[in-house]
Amino acid sequence: MSSMNSLTIKDIARLAGVSIATVSKVLNRKDQDIGEETKQKIAKIISDNNYVPYQKVMKRMSAKTATIGLVVPDVADVFYKPLVRGIEECAYNEGMSVIVCSTGADEGKEKKYVETLKERNVEGLLIAPSAGFGEDDIALLNDNQIPVVVVGPGSYDNAVCQLHFDYARGTYLATEYLIKNKHELIGFIGGPPTGQGAEERLEGYKKALYDHNVGFDKNLVYESAITDLKQAGFEGANLLLSKGATAIVTGDDIIACGAYIAASEALLKIPNDISVIGFGDSYVCELLTPALTSVAYPSYEMGYEACAALLKHIKNEAAEKKKLVSEPSLQLRQSASAPKAAGDAPKEQIVIVGSLNMDIIMKVSHIPRVGETILTNDIKNAAGGKGANQAVGAGKLGGQVYMIGRVGGDLYGRELYNSLIKNGVDAGGVVFDDMLPTGNAYIYVSDNGDNNIVVNPGANSRLSVEQVQTYEAIFDKASYCLIQMEIPMDTIEYVAQVCRSKNVKLILNPAPAREIDYSHFRDCFLVVPNETEIDLMIPGEMTIEEKAYRLLDKSFQNVIVTLGDKGCLLVNKDTKQYFPAATFKAVDTTGAGDSFISGLTVALAEGKPITEAITFASIAAGITVSREGAQPSLPDKETIKMYL
């Protein structure tokens, strides 16, 4: 028979033919639900062997360590960071230290850490356990006189204090929000199935589908076996996108980061093309563009409360062993919206080849005359350049936009590049030049909204034919191409040639007006000059209409002359029609032309007739002139729809 020094609770359970948890209940006088015969059998084995729990002996001999143990799947995970902070804060306030162990959701590592903490004589243990952690594990800790608080799901009867995040409710809220926004093909990406709350997250997603009569499709569920959550999100999103999903619920904000990368590589925009919702409401939500909608829990507060409950048990204070549930909420940001209607989807991509400048905007009382010096007290920088403005304008309106341009390897260049990305533009064709700085535009804006612009092209002057050739394959996917006159003429002419050979409809914005060889633009779909530009293109004493017809004679298929607050004129072989300007109070007309052209192109790419596209573009331009700045003033589609 085992001696006092070697008999363990496991030995007693084996000899009695019962579980460790049953022995633990008898030892700790929590045996109300255990039969009398079983209790007597266990008591006899204890008595016959003079059994004394080893840890009780050690605690009589050892000084208090003022230390508690904390075991979590990943201390660096954005979901657990605030929880750990709350625990550490509470412990510090009570004069206790915390030994933190990160298991990587590995059950073997978890068991080893728990044993290590027992050897360190911690006074209590907080654990966010794996799926394999059960009542026997708690019984062994209780037998060693180590109070335990469990943070997470699972059923542990009444022998332990438990604080539970309602994971299922969180994914339910996320899925329900997407359903209410008219999504039907909603995918789910979870982490490793053994991770804490993995099963509950999936069940919440499935229950929301069931409750709202949306069919569950197992092909729209991706549960990764890897612990690299960002890679899991990337792989899962690629799979779900291939299945036609319009929205994705994720089990972690880092998984959502991977989904963002997959969407970007697929040239899809969030939320226009795919909605994404995270889980955890961590700091990364505001770092992503667009900001991530996420399921939020009061993790810091829960951590603090869990630690406070453990400390009460350590001090033998009256702490009720109960299960506390933390309810989630959905923090709405910009990553989830209604799916794009079929009629709103651009048929193909829009390629924009053009300039990127940093605008230096100066507010003045009036535009200075020749030789006049005036003062300004209001100067600011803003991302600009006609190419970039039109790309951002089309991107904000939901167009699938690819930009080819050039910036300097400086701060301005990085700001311009980031502005494109932020507004949903694929900037894969933008090159950082190592010789010239980023271009600048010096813009004088008067009190009545008039403006003059002086441009220093900088790196734009090195946007070469060779650079376009490098990215020429993108034209194979495009239906429209926009080009302006702030880049080298040989590049403009080459782009016209590429568009003609690939049946891409070219839209020429002749700004600033320059002498051009019209033979390079035969069969060009559309030219859009303003009054000043058409006068320079077709000099002489003629009306605007006559000059527009002269441009038609130079083999342009359509001519639209923008007339400022008088609207615009459309001329083609079948039509001559004036369109009024949208009625908005002018604050800054700098971006009006670019807003008009980007709105026109997106509407055409959506399959709208040119007359409807002009109406859409006129409202876009009207909204733009009512705001300050070029790119900041460009509207999104929802704003335009308010005025249609």
564 is in an annotated binding site: yes
- Does 642 count as an annotated binding residue? no
User: In this structure, are residues 404 and 467 in contact, taking their beta carbons and an 8 Å threshold?
Assistant: yes
- Considering the candidates 378, 476, 594, 636, report the single residue annotated as catalytic: 594
* Dihedral sign (CA 160, 165, 167, 173): positive
Is residue 194 a known part of a binding site?
no
For the chain, the helix, strand and coil percentages under 3-state DSSP, each to the nearest 5: 40, 20, 40
Helix axes 9-16, 135-143, angle to 10 degrees: 120
Q: What span, in angstroms and rounded, lies between the C-alpha atoms of 586 and 598?
A: 19
- Give the strand pairing for 186-190 and 247-250: parallel
Query: Is 450 labelled a binding residue?
Result: no
Question: Pairing mode, if any, of strands 161-165 and 426-433?
Answer: unpaired
At 211, the amino acid letter reads: D
357-381 exposure pattern, b = at least 16 Cβ within 10 A, e = fewer: bbbbbbbbeeeeeeeeeeeeeeeee
624 labelled as ligand-binding?
yes
Residues 6 or more apart in contact with residue 161 via CB below 8 angstroms: 148, 149, 150, 309, 310, 313, 319, 320, 321, 322, 323
Any known ligand binding at 282? no
Annotated binding residue at 14? Answer: no
Q: Is 633 annotated as a binding residue?
A: yes
The answer to the question of whether 627 is labelled as a binding residue is yes
Q: Is 594 marked active-site?
A: yes
d(Cα 389, Cα 486) in Å, to the nearest integer?
12
> Does the annotation place 373 within a ligand binding site?
no
> What is the identity of the amino acid at 191?
G
Cα distance between residue 356 and residue 420, in whole Å: 10
- For residue 357, say whether it is annotated as part of any ligand binding site: yes
Q: Is 540 annotated as a binding residue?
A: no
Report the DSSP beta bridge partners of residue 234: none
Compute the chain's Rg from CA coordinates.
34
Is residue 171 annotated as involved in ligand binding? no
Q: Confirm whether residue 433 is marked as ligand binding.
A: no
Tokens of 394: 């089309």
Q: Is 136 annotated as a binding residue?
A: no
280 is in an annotated binding site: no
User: What angle (nearest 5°) sits at the alpha carbon of residue 438, between those of residues 435 and 442?
Assistant: 140
Q: Does residue 565 have a known ligand-binding role?
A: yes
Q: Is 359 annotated as a binding residue?
A: yes
According to the annotation, is 385 in a ligand binding site?
yes
Residues designated as active site: 594
- List, as residue ranges, the binding site for substrate: 357-359, 385-389, 486, 594
- List, as residue ranges, the binding site for ATP: 530, 562-567, 593-594
- List, as residue ranges, the binding site: 357-359, 385-389, 486, 530, 562-567, 588, 590, 593-594, 624, 627, 629, 633
- List, as residue ranges, the binding site for K(+): 588, 590, 624, 627, 629, 633
